[in-house]
Structure 1
């Protein structure tokens, strides 16, 4: 992530293979990740165990044409994708959510009123999700203001005109969630944290492409449903037990790398409820 952000700042003009310190750290990080992943795959193959987790399901999958299974390289690629797309994005979304709740105590109070009413001190389950409407709105609003992925690209498969612009085949068009999510044309008080705006049918009323934290079209994030479920359940679980307060004087700077994350982290103090 740090390497990608550095390359973005350099307009991707410096070659990856050039022995700069950041390139060496990048290759070492990839190597360490690969060593870990291949070790997990090797141990699973040697043990022959099938605990029913995602790795075992991928190892059991067979090609419809020739019946072959995934190679170690294919498994590695799938696991690396899940580590980045399935972990870091949700972690970032929750990090920004805790920051926004700490900055907006009125919203935090409303969240806890709902958690007390719905859960009454017990841990949340999937069955509780329909009743955790404000908690869900908190996550939705957090991803509006700080979308875990703030920029996506799409390649034109044919010549096309969009508005007054001609886009030739093969041209890559960049779409910014950050820009659309902060547009005063579609959102009142666009820079304000207002989870209440999502308690009605706002998301259905918005034109397509205005709110798209998970992308859109055929390549929309395959984990959208799981990520939303996971984020709301984690928010409800942790918020029942702790209140987070931001550490004063610690600067929080959004870093638009592959994902949108706090460049120097978000420092908080935990107070048990």
Structure 2
């Protein structure tokens, strides 16, 4: 490598502890400051480790596409998800992706639409007009119920599954900033909650697998009805018995279910929560949203066929995941020395692609801190640089469930918005946002719900 290539700049910090205090106090404020001071690539110094932060679409392309083999998954992925789809590499990842891909084909996803709306309606039937809900929590419950109905092929009623819901949410605790900054061997309350949650979730997963095995035995009875359509459980069961391309072990199947349960509901729930906050604090946009629903749906529940006509609704989804990307950073580890721009990053170093920084960069988005769904015209998207908008990642490891998530978000917004209006009930209008695995509001999203009167 060229000896003239320099090491990346380092933002101003504190002696001994580097950037740990500033990041722990306000992670996204630190990222804004660091990017302003240092540009699109800088070194964040933390106790026990350094993190190279990238904040430019061309750097994203290099990591995710053109030099993808120079960047592997970090240890945190395996710690949380074991050998699931999000954490595996190489042939193992390719085999797992091949198993799951049929569940996410476009034609198959379209068949999930009615189930998504039905699960949303079941959740709405529990709402009381005038009550203040934490809409973040409500959206977490709802998207988990949708995941069960669609991918797992079984209903999770709103009044059941509290242990599973709490355990799924608890996986986030490994990435609470005040814990993530510390070496992995340091015990913290958040890490203990993560460990407990992972144990509970695996117990629930084993119960799901046992129930599925029992239902298979029933289907083999001469008195059984026709077997149901493939589900995540059936595809994994099939993979455990295949021999031509290898099999998935019992632990791998558990890891896959843990991955899909978490990734299949958490990110969409995050997007939906921020969408409701953005609508509640932008009354003109909310009014246009409700008008579109009244006009397009004409009193009927939404279906997949309505989605192309719900232009404003789709723009709201897109603008929300721009401004509040559920996955705010994409972590990787260099597998060899690499050159990015004019800088060198050695092998074995942690690299973060700051999705939040690029999604809020005024070089690509006018007035980036304003919620403006109308910016998402076909012309704007054509002019946007590649990898300046990557809420689902990029390259060959683009999120397998991206179309599922977009359909779900649009249908949930339409189903709820047709029947209810949500008013912000927080003490402060400005939202404090924190990074865990996903982007989360610091103090929830309190909303007062009111039933809409439509003609």
CA deviation string 1:139-178 (max 9, x = no partner): 1001111000100023445443222112334443211111
Indicate the SS of the match to 1:179: helix
CA distance in 1, matches of 2:393, 2:449: 33
Per-residue CA deviations over 1:32-51 (Å, capped at 9, x if unaligned) read 11111101101211231553
Counterpart in the other structure of 1:30: 198
Deviation at residue 67 of structure 1 after TM alignment: 6.4
Q: 1:11 to 1:269 in 2, by over 3 A?
A: same
Match in the other structure for 1:43:
211
SS in 2 for 1:201: helix
Structure 1 position 257 matched with structure 2 position 257 = no
Given that residues 242 and 270 in structure 1 are in contact (C-alpha distance below 8 angstroms), is that contact kept between their aligned partners in structure 2? yes
Instruction: Check 1:217–1:63 CA distance in 2 against 1; reply closer, same or farther (3 A cut).
Output: farther
Residue ranges of structure 2 left out of the alignment (5+ in a row): 1-170, 220-226
- How do 1:147-186 and structure 2 match up within 5 A? 147-186=325-364
Instruction: Tell me how many residue pairs correspond in the alignment.
Output: 271
Answering whether residue 189 of structure 2 is matched by residue 11 of structure 1, we say: no
TM-score of the superposed pair, with normalisation by structure 2: 0.56
- Over 3 Å counting, the alpha-carbon distance change for 1:248 and 1:12 in structure 2 is closer
1:141 alignment partner in structure 2: 319
SS in 2 for 1:148: coil
Does the 8 A contact of 1:151 with 1:176 survive in 2? Answer: yes
Cα shift at 1:181: 0.8
Q: 1:21 to 1:177 in 2, by over 3 A?
A: closer
Question: Cα 1:173–1:23, aligned 2, differ >3 Å: closer, same or farther?
Answer: closer
**Secondary structure of the corresponding residue to residue 378 of structure 2:** coil
Could you tell me how far apart the structure 1 residues matched to 2:354 and 2:386 are? Answer: 14
Pairwise CA RMSD: 2.2
**Contact 2:174/2:191 (<8 A) preserved:** no
- TM-score normalised over the length of structure 1: 0.90
CA spacing shift, 1:2–1:250, aligned 2, 3 Å: farther
Q: Partners in 2 of 1:68 and 1:164 — Cα distance? A: 44
Unaligned runs of 5+ in 1: none
Query: What is the CA–CA distance in structure 1 between the aligned matches of 2:370 and 2:254, rounded to whole Å?
Result: 41
Residue 120 (structure 1) shift: 0.8
More divergent stretch after superposition (45-54 vs 138-147) = 45-54
Structure 1 residues 201 and 86: CA distance shift in structure 2, 3 A: farther
Contact 1:89/1:148 (<8 A) preserved: yes
Q: State the 1:69 CA deviation.
A: 4.7
| Partners of 1:62 and 1:45 in 2: CA distance | 12
Instruction: Provide the rounded CA distance (Å) in 2 between the counterparts of 1:200 and 1:225.
Output: 18
Cα distance 1:217–1:171, how it changes in 2: closer, same or farther (>3 A)?
farther
Q: Given the superposition, is the C-alpha separation of residues 170 and 218 from structure 1 closer, same or farther in structure 2, using an over 3 Å criterion?
A: farther
Higher relative contact order (CA 8 A, sep 6+): 2
Displacement, 1:14?
4.9
Q: Structure 1 residues 10 and 134 mapped into 2: Cα distance closer, same or farther (>3 Å)?
A: closer
Could you tell me how far 1:185 is from its partner in structure 2? Answer: 0.9
Question: How does 1:180-259 map onto structure 2 within 5 Å?
Answer: 180-249=358-427, 252-259=431-438
Paired position in structure 1 for 2:78: none
Q: Report whether the alignment pairs 1:78 with 2:256.
A: yes
